[in-house]
Amino acid sequence: MPPTLDLALLRDPALRPIGEKVTLGQRLDHADGLALYATNDLLGLGTLADFANRRQNGDRVFFSANQHLNPTNVCVLRATCTFCSFARTPKEEGAYTRSLDEVYAEAEQARGAPTTEFHIVGGLHPKLRLEYYTDMLRGLKERHPTVHIKALTAVEIAHLARIEKISEREVLAALKDAGLTSLPGGGAEVFSTAVRATIAERKLTGEEWIRVHRTAHQLGIPTNCTMLYGHVETADDRLQHLAMLRELQDETGGFLTYIPLAYHPDHNELGEELGRVGTATSGFEDLKNIAIGRLFLDNIPHVKTHWPMVTPALSQIALSFGCDDVEGTVVFERVYHEAGASTDMAMSYPQLVTLIRDAGRRPVERNSLYEALRDASDDAPPAPPAPAEPRKRSLPVVHAA
């Protein structure tokens, strides 16, 4: 049965005309977006987003069995991306660069596991050339021929083009030839020039990020898109960012999913400047950004919740706020844990299935291209954890006054 929307459930009167537009499938404009960001009627906002999502995706929620690989954390923009906790200078403590054999060794965890995707991102290394990445992709494909490869953000593509003195199109074509399936959506942050001047002064501009993704789409490489929220940006900045994504999608149709990413302030300069260390975004903000992404990006089919950043519990609630896609098994998450994320590094396949099913949704495993691989609704629940060692009784400690 198609979902219905009861406008009487919207407590904030400002949401009602927007609800009428959503019911009619009409596009929301900037003023609508500002009203959505201004509302405190979170449940009303969620009702709208859930309706929009269910109309498109029913009760299905996608997940993937993926493995993250980060070949290097050395990055030439270490000093100017003030929100980043992952990057290091070449000689800094904790800097690493993997040989291809080390990358292949880490990827061996996919053997015998249900992995269908490698998600590969890293720093902008001053010396690693395009050949390192094309060899890596070929080597991974040789060893794991059925695993899709989603690799390198637009920022990494532009960096490789610069050091090779070739076009971004040539870099993308070479990577596709070596086995690239799709591009991740990282590096977008917020496109506003003023915001970038504060948090990522020397990174690709918003227009340049869009250009790389347009080129990828023209070459038949689908991509994801993101927005990093919860730092210095305004609602206006967020909506302009979303409008640019929506415009490119109208032109190419190449975006697969939109992923709002929550800023984490630990171990980075921006967090200290803002006095926010240890204070991540609120659940209210996280759910708002998920829901508004679903409503504003009416032409992007999927919206993903990134459980390592916002916690599995909040990701589960996000499935009633417009999300139809959950970040996968991951295996080892480095980037956000460097910034203070306190979630687990990985989630098992049965745990993911249970997370979705317990939210009343139908878990469907997908590949990188969002093709359904299997309906996991009837999978067995995860095995109970091994019993812990019995705790020894200890005598109460009496403190002397």
The interface with ligand SF4 within residues 59-118 (CB under 6 A) comprises 75, 77-78, 81, 84, 86-87
**363 beta partners:** 61
Q: Calculate ∠ Cα 89-90-93, nearest 5°.
A: 75
CA distances from 127 to 66, 75, 88, 106, 380 (A): 28, 10, 14, 22, 48
Q: Give the nearest distance from C-beta 152 to ligand SF4 in angstroms.
A: 11
Q: Please, which residue, 157 or 221, has the CB nearer to ligand SF4?
A: 157
Q: Under rule CB under 6 A, which residues in 146-165 are in contact with ligand SF4?
A: 155
Task: Decide whether 276 or 302 has the Cβ nearer to ligand SF4.
Answer: 276
Contact residue for ligand SF4 among 10, 103, 124, 137 (CB under 6 A): 124
- Residue in 123, 179, 328, 363 binding ligand SF4, rule: CB under 6 A: 123
SS3 316: helix
Of 115 and 224, which has the nearer Cβ to ligand SF4? 224
Q: Examine residue 119 and tell whether it contacts ligand SF4 (CB under 6 A).
A: no
Residue closer to ligand SF4, measured from CB, 154 or 256 = 154
CB of 234 to ligand SF4, least distance (A): 21
The residues that bridge with 118 in the sheet, in sequence order, are: 67, 149
**Distance of closest approach, residue 156 Cβ to ligand SF4, in angstroms:** 8
Phi, psi (degrees; rounded to nearest 5) at 270:
-60, -40
Closest CA to 82 of 253, 239, 196: 196
CA distances (Å), origin 390, targets 170, 198, 386, 394: 61, 52, 12, 12
Regarding 35 and contact with ligand SF4 (CB under 6 A), the answer is no
CB of 375 to ligand SF4, least distance (A): 37
Within positions 334 to 393, which residues make up the interface with ligand SF4, using CB under 6 A?
none
CB of 77 or CB of 346, closer to ligand SF4? 77
Q: How far is the CB of 260 from ligand SF4 (least distance, A)?
A: 17
Q: Could you say which DSSP state residue 27 is in? A: P
- Interacting positions 310-339 with ligand SF4 (CB under 6 A): none
- CB of residue 84 vs ligand SF4: minimum separation in angstroms? 3
Minimum distance of ligand SF4 from residue 61's CB (angstroms)? 29
Q: Which is nearer to ligand SF4, 207 or 358 (CB)?
A: 207
* 265 scored as a contact of ligand SF4 (CB under 6 A): no
First-to-last alpha carbon distance for the chain, in angstroms, is 69
Sheet containing strand 372-375, edge to edge, reads 223-229, 255-262, 302-305, 325-326, 60-63, 362-366, 372-375
DSSP letters spanning 239-275: HHHHHHHHHHHHHH--EEEEEEEE---TTSHHHHHTT
CB of 92 to ligand SF4, least distance (A): 12
- For ligand SF4, which is the closer residue by CB, 144 or 203? 203
Nearest to 196 by CA among 224, 155, 247: 155
Residues ≥6 apart with Cβ < 8 Å to 151: 118, 119, 120, 121, 133, 137, 175, 180, 183, 184
Q: Which residue is nearest to ligand SF4 (CB)?
A: 81
Residue 48 or 124: which CB sits closer to ligand SF4? Answer: 124
Where in 37-125 does DSSP place strands (E)? 60-63, 66-69, 117-120
Within a 10 A sphere around the Cβ of 105, how many other Cβ atoms?
11
For binding to ligand SF4 (CB under 6 A), which residues are involved? Answer: 75, 77-78, 81, 84, 86-87, 123-124, 155, 203
